[in-house]
Structure 1
Amino acid sequence: MYYFLAIGFCSRLDKSLLSHHFIIDQPVVASIPQDRILLETDAPWCDIRPTHAGFQYITTKFERKKPNKWSLEFMVAGRNEPANIVQVLEVVAGARDESLDELAKAAYENTLKVFPRLL
């Protein structure tokens, strides 16, 4: 049986990264074997904000609009979206000092190990 750790982000991330409801420091994230990492967004809650420590690693930005001004080409301000998985990838890769492509490939392969019927 495989054991995996899903890493997502929520709340305020000072000098730590948060996964679900417990704190994981960057050295711990870096120590997780690559073949055991899964990524998730916590959507629709807990987008990664400029006040979060992990925000420094984000390079992909999405334009957002308030709910009353929203249209299809924008995201809703203050709401996390599944498309933000790329930002989670950027934060985890940055914390691990790892390439985005390498970590994305590993997370994808790990997802297929956990959910083989996705193939």
Structure 2
Amino acid sequence: MEDIDRKMCVPKLVDSHCHLDDAAFDLDRPDVIRRARAAGVQKIIVPAYSPLFWPRLQQLCAQNIWLYPAYGVHPLYLHACASDWFEALPVWLENAVAVGEIGLDRSDNAPDHGAQIACLKSQLQLAQALDLPVILHARGTLEELILILRGFPRLRGVVHSFSGSLVQAQRLMDSGFYLGLGAAFTHARALRLQATIRSLPLDRVLIETDAPWQSGASFRGQRNEPAFLLETVRALAHLREMAFSALAEQLTRNTLAFFRLQENA
């Protein structure tokens, strides 16, 4: 009876951002997928970050029907692109659920910022033309990104690993964007982010792992993986003082609607 009850309590979750094609999973990817499924993760969105790895991402998703690819160029991988990457991108996007991971990054040794902006805008224009959502990266650039997005009023998207203020969150939501929450808020020092998350409307939130990176407090020092999404949702339910099952249902509903996926597909 305990085994039956445990299975009945497993939620239906969607990891809205996980780099399952990354080499960090090469030695045990089938086991990682099995653990994710056992934890209730029914679907995983796998965003690309470099054209060098688009083929491996396509192959992985073709082999696993619960994995859904997005294609794009991450700002930190801009220098690794061949000259014809943008001309090739529309073909890759024919079977994708989003354009991403794209965005801006001001970390040390990041590529030329002007080149990043040009790369981002070209992909935003393509996403708008194809009516695909975008998965956005913003490291030290959230204000700048918000201003750029004003030039694309018909665009849908999510700012992944959101860590901004409530004011910034509201400006993004007013423009029709969603906020992707990873496990960063589970760490004890993330008091400002926790305060922001307590006030967010849950119908504009997606949940993610960003695996193999950004492990939560329960898995500090470990490689992140999609099965850990379960603990992040539990932590969010605790933070929001609400029932876990109701929160899980809301987050899954948000993600399926955002990526235009069918629950049983």
User: Under TM normalisation by the shorter chain, which class is it?
Assistant: 0.5 to 0.7
The CA deviation at 1:50 is 4.7
Per-residue CA deviations over 1:28-57 (Å, capped at 9, x if unaligned) read 1111101111100121112223597xxxxx
Alignment check: 8 A CA contact 1:8 1:39 kept: yes
What is the distance in 1 between the residues matched to 2:230 and 2:218? 16
What is the distance in 1 between the residues matched to 2:201 and 2:194? 13
Q: In percent, how many aligned pairs have the same letter?
A: 33
1:92 aligns with 2:236: yes
Decide which moves more: 81-90 or 3-12: 3-12
Work out which of the residue numbers 173, 186, 196 in structure 2 matches 1:28. 196
**Could you tell me the TM-score, scaled by structure 2's length?**
0.30
* Aligned position for 1:42: 210
Which residue identity does 2:208 align to in structure 1?
A: E
Bigger radius of gyration: 2
Work out which of the residue numbers 16, 38, 42 in structure 1 matches 2:190. 16
Alignment check: 8 A CA contact 1:93 1:100 kept: yes
Greater helix content = 2
Alignment check: 8 A CA contact 1:44 1:80 kept: yes
Structure with more contact order per residue of length (Cα contacts < 8 Å, sep ≥ 6): 1
Which ranges in structure 2 are unaligned for 5 or more consecutive residues? 1-155, 157-175
Structure 1 segments of 4 or more deviating over 6 A?
A: none
The CA deviation at 1:10 is 3.9
Which residue identity does 1:37 align to in structure 2?
A: V
What is the distance in 2 between the residues matched to 1:32 and 1:12? 16
The CA deviation at 1:11 is 9.2
Cα RMSD for the two superposed structures: 2.6
Which residue identity does 2:216 align to in structure 1?
A: I
* Aligned position for 1:69: none
Alignment check: 8 A CA contact 1:10 1:45 kept: no
Query: Number of matched residues?
Result: 88
